[in-house]
Amino acid sequence: MLSIERRYIYPISAAVLALFSMFILIWSQFYPYIMEKYGLTSVAPVALSSSIIFASALFSQITAGFIADRLGPKPPLAIAGLGTLLGMIIISLTFSHDSWEVARIYWYAGSFVTGIGAGFYIGTFPVVLGRWFPESPGKAFGIAIFGQNLSPLVMSPLAAYLVSRVGLSNTFVTIGILVFVLLYLIGFAFWKVPPAERREGYDFTLKQAIRDRRFWILFTVMYSTAFGWFLILLNIATIIVEGLVDLAGMNAEYVLGTFVPMFMGVTAIGNAFGGLIWGFVNDRIGGPMRTLPIVYSVGGVAIVLLMLTYAEPLLLLPVGFILYFALGGEPTIHFSAVPTFFGREAIGRITTILNTSVFTSAIVGPYIGAYLKDVTGTYLTALMLAAILHFFATAVVLIGKKYAGGGVNVQVREPESV
């Protein structure tokens, strides 16, 4: 058994792996290059790859969770590395063809395989951290999510640099090799889990968890807040353009070339530290049922503030920081809630089933946000919906915890016979 100090290598290494493995968070950065190469005027055919990635990851992360629960992290991490590398190699073949009709086959197929790689990592690391940190999951997941949320800040300039130096095709291969090497050198080579002996009444099976009210509370709030999150996240650049260019009359070239990247950098830092700090707060104040209402309500208020200030450049940056700081804590607390409520035995299976709510939101959320913009002529409707969903989630937790137990940071409720 590792000492308390040495086991921190797992969340720290998970942060490093997520920093590079979650490059799919900057996927839209590649769209303009592809549109220019193939003379496309619509972004939809290119952006379809993002939905393919998340749909593929949706199912593969479930498989990874089941495998990791039974066999440990090494088999799914091996698949994660191979899937990422193979997917990026297939994508690199896209640019060997001059016709978009042919090239898109490789673009979509590579995106599907890349999603498998991402999903197998996403479904594995909760098992490792939940097993090693049963008494303080918020702290462990906070460290890991810190790396994930910092990924756009690191990977975006790295991708831009690689495109300018080695070209678009080789950029995908290079990133694929980088992630493959890291997953094998760090995850596959060193990650393991302590033996998990079943404790009757403390470690839930998947069937037992699904019958527990806390599972459905988590599923409901994860779906609603993730839906609201993706209404904003993948539309934020055009939301800023609407506020600063269309409403405030600022120069479009300055907004797109200077302000948007600056906003992305500031909010990425807020997002990263939100994931880290909310995890510590979760463990400190008594667990998810006490932390989630605070996180959701702060996020909801911040979205309202964004609606009021998105045409004010001096206020937009601090409001954006607060918003992303709150939103950054949501995945940390969601991940830590599983071992807190349901123990460690089936943590991978339970977490990945709950995560289907987030992945389905990622598939449809951005399109609903863009659709509401097209119908109403403004993003305010999408922002209002995102705020309402966060306040709804706050109410669900506050009301639900009265009937579901688990209001304090214990593994699970005491067995009924106690």
Predicted local confidence at residue 101, as pLDDT:
94
- Give the span between the Cα atoms of 311 and 307, in whole angstroms: 9
- Give the span between the Cα atoms of 243 and 414, in whole angstroms: 52
The domain over range 202-413 is classified in CATH as 1.10.1740.10:
no
What's the pTM value of the predicted model, to 2 decimals? Answer: 0.84
226's CB contacts (< 8 A; 6+ apart) are 330, 357, 358, 361, 362, 365
> Exposed e or buried b for every residue in 2-11, given b needs 16+ CB within 10 A?
eeeeebbebb
Query: At 245, which amino acid appears?
Result: V
Predicted local confidence at residue 409, as pLDDT:
38
Predicted local confidence at residue 330, as pLDDT:
92
Predicted local confidence at residue 3, as pLDDT:
54
Tell me the backbone φ, ψ of residue 378, rounded to 5 degrees. -155, 155
Of 408, 349, 402, 356, residue with least CA distance to 204: 349
Q: Is the dihedral of CA 336, 342, 346, 352 positive or negative?
A: negative
Collect the ranges in the chain with pLDDT lower than 70.
Answer: 1-4, 195-202, 403-418
Q: Where in the chain are the domains?
A: 1-195, 202-413
The domain over range 1-195 is classified in CATH as 3.40.50.1820:
no
Predicted local confidence at residue 265, as pLDDT:
86
Predicted local confidence at residue 408, as pLDDT:
42
Do 202-413 and 1-195 have the same topology in CATH? yes
